[in-house]
Amino acid sequence: MKIAIILGTRPEIIKMSPLIRECEKLGIDHYILHTGQHYSFEMDKVFFDDLKLPVPRYNLDVGSGTHGQQTGRMLQGIEEVLIKDRPDVLLVQGDTNTVLAGALAGSKLNIRIGHVEAGLRSFDRTMPEEINRIIADHISDYLFAPTENSKEYLLAEGIPKEKIFVTGNTVVDAVYQNLEISKQTRHTLSKLNLKEGEYFLTTVHRAENTDKKERLSRILAGFEQIYQTFRLPIIFPAHPRTVKMIKEFDLEIPEGTKIINPVGYLDFLQLEGGAKLILTDSGGLQEEGCILGVPCVTLRDNTERPETVDVGANIIAGMNGNIAKFVERMTASGISWDNPYGSGDAAKLTIDRIIGCQIYR
C-alpha cells in the first residue's frame, strides 16, 4: 500500500506530523506532497527540520493568488504528481484550498481519499473554509471525524455511516509529541522575559477581522481594556499581513500589547502553554488551548470547534460585546475541563483504519 500525504500550510504540517510518523513507524510506503499554499518549501523547511519530519518528495510552490487561481494551480500540479506516482490512498487535512484541490484531484482519478478532521462545521458559508471542508467531506471515501459531534454533522448531511470513523484529533498527538521536542530544544519564555501565567497570548489573522477596519479597531480596543483590567502584557506574534492592515487603517497599537515577529511552532507551543489565556481567531489555537488547559476567547462570531465551548475551555466573544468581560469570565478561578479530542492516538487509529479498509476492499 502507498499513501500520499498532501499538505500546504503550517497547520497542516503540524496536524499531519503524527500521521507521517505513524507511517514511518509501520514502514508504510508513503510520500509528502507540499503545495506551497502559504509559503514555499524553502520557507517551511525549518518546520520540517524542527519537527524531525522527512523532506517532501514533491513541492509545487503555487504561492498566493485568488481562491480560483490558487486552487487551479494546485489542482493541475497535484493531478500530474498523482498520475506519475499513483498512491492507493491520499490524505488531506482540514479546510484549506490544498484540501479542496487534493480531494478533487484524487476523486477525478478514482484514488481513495481520506479526509482527516472531517465533519467540522461553522454553518457560515461566507467562509471559504466552510465550502472547502463540505466539498472534501462529500467526495472522500474515509472521513476521520475528531469527535462524535462531527460524526453527527456528517450523518445529518447524508454521508453513509460506513465511511465515518471517530478517531480523535491528530492535534492532540501533535501537541503531545511536539511539546516534548520543544522542551528539549527551546527556552522561549525566558528569552522574552515572560513568566508563566503572567501574560496573554493573541493571534489575529482571518480576513474577516484583518480586512475590516471596524472589526480590527474593536479587537485592539478590547486589548487596551484587557490591559487596563489585568495589567498583564498581551503578546501578539503578528502575521505581516495583519501588521500591514493595522498601518493601512492608521490604527494604534494599544498600551500593553507587544507585537513580536512570528515565532516557530515549537516556540509558539511554549507561549501557548505558559499563557494565562489565549485570544484568537484561529481554529487550531482553540483546540490547542483546550488540550493544554489554557482558557480561550475566540475573536469571531462562530466556531467550527463547538466542543471547546461545550466543555468550558472556550467562549465566543463576537465583535459586538466587551472582549475584556469575556476574558474576566474565562479567567475566573476553578475553570477546568476534560479534553474532548481524544487521548493522543488519533494517528494510529487513522492509519489502522486505512490498512483495514484496504485489506478488506
β-sheet with 234-237: strand ranges across:
257-260, 234-237, 200-203, 277-280, 296-298, 314-316
Cell triple for 220? 485592539
Among residues 34, 38, 115, 205, which one is catalytic?
A: 205
* Distance of alpha carbon 156 from alpha carbon 149, whole angstroms: 11
* Distance of alpha carbon 216 from alpha carbon 246, whole angstroms: 8
* Paired residues of 324 in beta bridges: none
Cell triple for 12? 497542516
| Helix, strand, coil % in the chain, rounded to nearest 5 | 50, 15, 35
* Distance of alpha carbon 165 from alpha carbon 125, whole angstroms: 25
What backbone phi and psi angles, to 5 degrees, belong to 236? -125, 85
Locus of grid cell 479530542: 341
Can you tell me whether residue 306 is helix, strand or coil?
Answer: helix
Contact 47, 10 (CB under 8 A): yes
Q: Is 205 a catalytic residue?
A: yes
Instruction: Kindly list the catalytic residues.
Output: 205
